[in-house]
Amino acid sequence: MNNSEPGFYNNKDLILDEIWALLTKGVTDRSEDFRLPVVVLNSHSGPDARIVVLRGAFQERNTLRFHTDIRSEKIEFIKNNNEIYFLFYNKERKIQVRAAGNATIHYKNKTTEEAWKKTQVISRKCYLASNAPGTRSEIPTSGIPEQYEGKNVPIEESEVGYENFSIIESKIHTFEWLYLASKGHRRAKIKLTDHGSEATWVTP
Ligand SMILES: Cc1cc2nc3c(=O)[nH]c(=O)nc-3n(C[C@H](O)[C@H](O)[C@H](O)COP(=O)(O)O)c2cc1C
């Protein structure tokens, strides 16, 4: 076997672990490309995409997690249609992953309580905006109350942000994996269930 050829090149049983390794790294490593996926939802008028920070990847539950403002438009979209798509690309490893699943909104429950405690003040600041994300403004605005603009927010004062904090957990049912290689690309589809997974090679 060619040394530069990764194990998964001709072994579909190794692909799933590679995907979860990149997702797990994305949660903790700021330099990992998988940290910033594109998330696609169904808006009232069609597909709607945005970047989020990957905050959780749980292989045992086939679940991905990100944080958002409960007042944001995504919440309405998810309530209306909980199908969700994630798109990841690691440039160095030349791996694209498309993940499809179903989203659940967590708000003021044990999951959000635990995550909020671990959320740094710098991230909590986004949840202090007086108006909902997407609110029209006559002037350029960050939405953050003036006294906090460009300043560190004391931790006690960041607590009110919890009112707007929510977590989107997505149960993934399908991964589409694409590996780019000069000698020939590889592509596979992986169906996930609570009992295991099934990988199929697909023509790239
Ligand atoms: C690098 C980066 C990271 C982001 N992370 C998040 C995030 O974790 N959660 C979030 O709700 N929005 C995040 N955003 C902002 C969204 O892309 C989007 O602009 C915002 O959520 C409003 O979108 P909406 O129309 O879905 O409400 C991020 C944007 C960038 C550029």
Atom 18 of ligand 1, residue of closest alpha carbon: 50
Find the 151 Cα to ligand 1 centroid distance in Å.
21
Domain boundaries of the chain, sorted by first residue: 7-202
Structure tokens at 31: 């330099």
Find the 98 Cα to ligand 1 centroid distance in Å.
18
d(CA 39, CA 42): 10
Atom 7 of ligand 1, residue of closest alpha carbon: 52
Give 166's strand partners.
Answer: 68, 107
User: What three-state secondary structure class fits 200?
Assistant: strand
Structure tokens at 29: 């490593």
Q: Which of 192, 29, 4, 187 has its CA nearest to residue 97? A: 187
Judged against a pLDDT cut of 80, whether residue 104 lies above it is answered with: yes
Question: Model-level pTM?
Answer: 0.96
d(CA 14, CA 84): 25
Atom 13 of ligand 1, residue of closest alpha carbon: 52
Q: Cα–chain-centroid distance for residue 144?
A: 24
According to CATH, the superfamily of the domain at 7-202 is Electron Transport, Fmn-binding Protein; Chain A (2.30.110.10)
pLDDT digits (tens, 9 = 90+) for 149-177: 888 899 999 999 999 999 999 999 999 99
User: What three-state secondary structure class fits 4?
Assistant: coil
d(CA 198, CA 83): 21
pLDDT digits (tens, 9 = 90+) for 43-59: 999 999 999 999 999 99
Ligand 1 pocket mutation, candidates 43, 50, 168, criterion most atoms within 8 A of CB = 50
